[in-house]
DNA sequence: ATCGTTTATCGTCGATTGACGATGATTTCA
DNA sequence: TGAAATCATCGTCAATCGACGATAAACGAT
């Protein structure tokens, strides 16, 4: 334990939560799926594909960008968005084991590890 | 409560978003992880593990329950919460392929398709 | 029957979200 | 140079979230 102040464990959960929250909206799901298909997309194409105002779509793109899931580069008068595959992969590498553990029968007392991370601490506390 | 009819495509994304949003909070991540370890937990144990008020924890449990990720049964004067492994598995079965596609190089035009894989349609529109 | 424990719900409050229109910046095209 | 197009940002508004304390409901134990 003795975890030093270097890595705040709680911080990891906040990043994870941030990314999950970014995906947790129908419009943003549609956006990332569209980007997965086309590879790259201009903002306008996305706007035309949805029934949302341009400014609203821009906001959603901002949320996804702040979560690190996509990158946006300015190309002339338009913006080209692209999935950040590395971040998506990192998210997958974190979510998969998590869901696997949640779906597993019941870890029960594991000899190894665990929890030690011990400090899930959502807001500050820790699940003893 | 209105559970749905049968298959509205947009509805599927809303359920997915609902479940992702349920997981997208540090406190709720801590709760489901705790449940994964212990198998079942009374509300009080969870409350003591976190630094949140009892009513707040109860709210988080409600969110998770409404998302179908956990089940709560009343046992005497206390409530026993348990992960709904089936729902978690279903979520995994939906999220994993999604993340895999997002992290993939770029599907590009598969056969013909106009991308119509369906109707992403977030709020109503559709990505043409 | 009453008390104490446990949990859900209610009401409130501040902060955030999601939507929109309007505006402004930037670049291309005529 | 001017007009049109594209996109981000700002301000606003209603709705939701997240937290809390207080209260009520259900049950076991006295």
pLDDT digits (tens, 9 = 90+) for B58-88: 999 999 999 999 999 998 889 999 999 999 9
Which chain B residues are closer than 8 Å to A8 by Cβ? none
Residues 43-62 of B with CB under 7 A from strand C: 43-44, 47, 54-55, 58-59, 61-62
User: Nearest C-alpha of chain B: how many angstroms from A12?
Assistant: 9
CATH architecture of A10-99: Orthogonal Bundle (1.10)
Cβ A124–B91 below 8 Å, yes or no? Answer: no
Q: Note the pLDDT of residue A69.
A: 98
Cβ A50–B122 below 8 Å, yes or no? Answer: yes
Q: How large is the average pLDDT for residues A23-38?
A: 96
Q: Tens digits of per-residue pLDDT, B5-26?
A: 444 567 899 999 999 999 999 9
The first and second tokens of residue B74, run together, are 């009343």
Which chain B residues are closer than 8 Å to A103 by Cβ? 83, 85, 88-89, 92
How many CB atoms neighbour CB B3 within 10 A?
Answer: 6
Evaluate the CA torsion angle B29, B34, B39, B42 in order and state its sign: negative
Contact of A73 with A80, CB cutoff 8 Å: yes
Cβ burial B114-123 (10 Å sphere, 16+ → b, else e): ebeeebbbbe
CB-strand contact A122/D, under 7 Å: yes
CB-strand contact A55/D, under 7 Å: yes
Q: Note the pLDDT of residue A8.
A: 52
As a rounded value in angstroms, the CA-to-C1' distance for B75 and D25 is 14
The first and second tokens of residue B28, run together, are 């709720």
Contact of B64 with A78, CB cutoff 8 Å: no
Report the candidate in A95, A86, A80, A89 with the shortest Cα–Cα distance to residue A35. A80
Contact of B72 with A2, CB cutoff 8 Å: no
Fold (CATH) for B10-101: Arc Repressor Mutant, subunit A (1.10.10)
Q: Tens digits of per-residue pLDDT, B88-118?
A: 999 999 999 999 999 987 655 444 334 434 3
CB-strand contact B25/C, under 7 Å: no
Each domain of chain A, given as residue ranges in start order, spans: 10-99
CA B13 to the chain's CA centroid: 11
């Amino acid at each position: 334990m003795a975890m030093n102040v270097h890595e705040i464990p709680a911080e990891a959960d906040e990043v994870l939560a941030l990314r999950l929250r970014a995906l947790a909206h129908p419009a943003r799901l549609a956006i990332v799926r569209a980007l997965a298909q086309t590879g790259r997309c201009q903002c306008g194409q996305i706007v035309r594909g949805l029934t949302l105002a341009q400014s609203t779509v821009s906001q959603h793109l901002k949320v996804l960008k702040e979560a690190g899931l996509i990158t946006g580069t300015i190309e002339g008068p338009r913006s080209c968005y692209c999935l950040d595959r590395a971040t998506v992969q990192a998210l997958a590498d974190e979510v998969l084991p998590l869901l696997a553990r949640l779906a597993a029968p019941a870890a029960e007392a594991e000899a190894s590890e665990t929890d030690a991370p011990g400090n899930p601490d959502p807001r500050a506390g820790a699940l003893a």
